[in-house]
Amino acid sequence: MAITPLRCNLRQGGCYRSYRNGSIYWSTATGAHMTVGAIAGRWASLNWERGFLGYPTTDENCTLVNSGCVQKFQGGRIYWQPNTGANPIAGGIGFHWDQTAAERGPLGYPISGENCALVAGGCVQNFQGGYVYWQPSIGSHAVHGALGAKWVQMGYELSPLGYPVSDESCGGTPLSCSQYFQGGTITWPTFAGVSVTPSPSSTGVVVNKRRPNSPMNQTPPDLVWVGSQLMRSEAAWQFSQLVSGASAAGVPVTTVSGFRSYDTQVGLYNSYVSQYGRAVADTISARPGFSEHQTGLVMDVGNPNGACSLQACFENTPAGEFVRNHAWQYGFIIRYTWANDWATGYTYEPWHLRYIGVRTATDMHNRGYQTLEQHFGLAAAPTY
Ligand SMILES: [Zn+2]
């Protein structure tokens, strides 16, 4: 029994009529199809035939796994399932989801629509079992499972890893899975923990006594001046924010040593060796090529009066206390803490700030500042 008269003059000359339990929409291109229930409600919320979905091209099909239903439209589909409600799927993300076997695959049903407010024009859609990301220069890739959980923990696309540039691929005996991201790789050998390997050019790069700069004599391309020192541009901007924040809190923080070239490190290390011998030099200075300062992501900081400069007692000076309590808020960690020399092979350096990005630094802070090695699931590096 119709509860409204036939109404026409819709987009592309379409018509509809409402009934007690739904409506029938008709257009010359799509024919007549019924919309009912939650799917009809979701379609209405997306502006009916005037939205990106256009007219329905099928009726509902409720024969999907786990009691799901789907209805197709000109511009996409709407899926409904008792646990997820009704959500649209379309475009590159929908195409990619289909390739993972859609609702029958590891991602399951969509639990949201697309969110296209991400950095660099990216979009994401959430599914029961993970995410599909789309970004104009990369395309669509799924993130799920143990690898996806690590990426989420790192800070999603805002981490130094950035967007996924591949899907997960698994193989070998024992089985191992890997996924590539803009800024590195996450690997999950199923017999061990998940590990993150940032690429050499990433702001997440890990340099230690087992992982030299790559190439060994590299100079980052985007160094800019911070006072009298150099840092990579993103780190420099965040460091200037840290200095402003400290200043606002009445604590002046000065720069002592930022980027150091391979050649500079040769001279520095050799001077320590001639002064203290090689064994001691290795605990206080990196061998050439192995210095984190060469990444351009590090700043040694101090007090303007030089109090406790490059000494452990720096931690109790005004600048030392500020960076201990607040550096993470600007994306920096104290790389060589007193509790972690077993993992880093360096003695406590409360002045040595390493930029790692706000998301990762915040996560590490919330977990109690483990080393980068532990946080990324990489081997400890106490010796060369
Ligand atoms: Zn340092």
Stretch 339-368: mean pLDDT:
93
Write out the two tokens for 67.
Answer: 């009691």
User: Is-contact 87 111, C-beta < 8 A?
Assistant: yes
Residue where a domain terminates, one of 71, 89, 107: 89
Give the per-residue pLDDT at 189.
85
| CATH code for the domain in which residue 333 is found | 3.30.1380.10
Q: Tell me the mean pLDDT in the region 357-373.
A: 90
Place of tokens 């790389």: 335
Mean pLDDT, the chain, rounded, equals: 95
pLDDT tens, residue by residue, 213-260 = 999 999 999 999 999 999 999 999 999 999 999 999 999 999 999 999
First and final C-alpha spacing in the chain: 82
Q: How many Å lie between the centroid of ligand 1 and the Cα of residue 213?
A: 15
Q: How far is the CA of 177 from the centre of ligand 1 (A)?
A: 35
Q: How many distinct structural domains can be found in the chain?
A: 2
302 vs 285: CA distance, rounded Å: 18
Residue % of the chain over a pLDDT of 70? 100
Q: Which pLDDT score, from 0 to 100, does residue 206 have?
A: 96
pLDDT of residue 131: 97
Q: How far is the CA of 293 from the centre of ligand 1 (A)?
A: 6
pLDDT of residue 174: 87
Residue 276 lies in a domain: yes
**Confidence bin at 91 (pLDDT 50/70/90):** very high
User: What is the average per-residue pLDDT within 287-304?
Assistant: 97
Find the 104 Cα to ligand 1 centroid distance in Å: 52
In a domain? residue 50 = yes
Tell me how far the alpha carbon of residue 193 lies from the centroid of ligand 1, in angstroms. Answer: 30
User: Is residue 100 a part of any domain in this protein?
Assistant: no
State the sign of the Cα–Cα–Cα–Cα dihedral 63, 68, 69, 70.
Answer: negative
Where does a domain end: 74, 89, 104?
89
Is residue 192 in some structural domain? no
For the segment 2-28, the average pLDDT, to the nearest whole number, is 92
Domain contains 182: no
Closest to 297 in 3D by CA, of 231, 202, 215: 231
Specify the pTM.
Answer: 0.86
Domain boundary among 65, 89, 113: 89
Residue 111 belongs to some domain of the structure: no
Enumerate residues with CB within 5 Å of ligand 1 (an ion).
Answer: 300, 352
pLDDT at 355: 98
Residue 72 pairs with which residues in a beta bridge? 77
Length of the chain: 384
Determine the pLDDT at residue 160.
93
| 193 part of a folded domain | no
Q: Is the pLDDT of residue 157 over 80?
A: yes
pLDDT value, residue 63: 97
- The answer to whether residue 106 is domain-embedded is no
Pair (227, 369) in one structural domain = yes
SS3 content of the chain, % helix, strand, coil (to 5): 30, 30, 40
Ligand 1 centre to CA of 194 (Å) is 29
Q: Which residue, 67, 184, 185, is CA-closest to 176?
A: 185
- Its domain, for residue 63, covers 1-89
CA–centroid distance, residue 253 to ligand 1 (Å): 15
Which comes out higher in pLDDT, residue 369 or 154?
Answer: 154
pLDDT for 1 equals 65
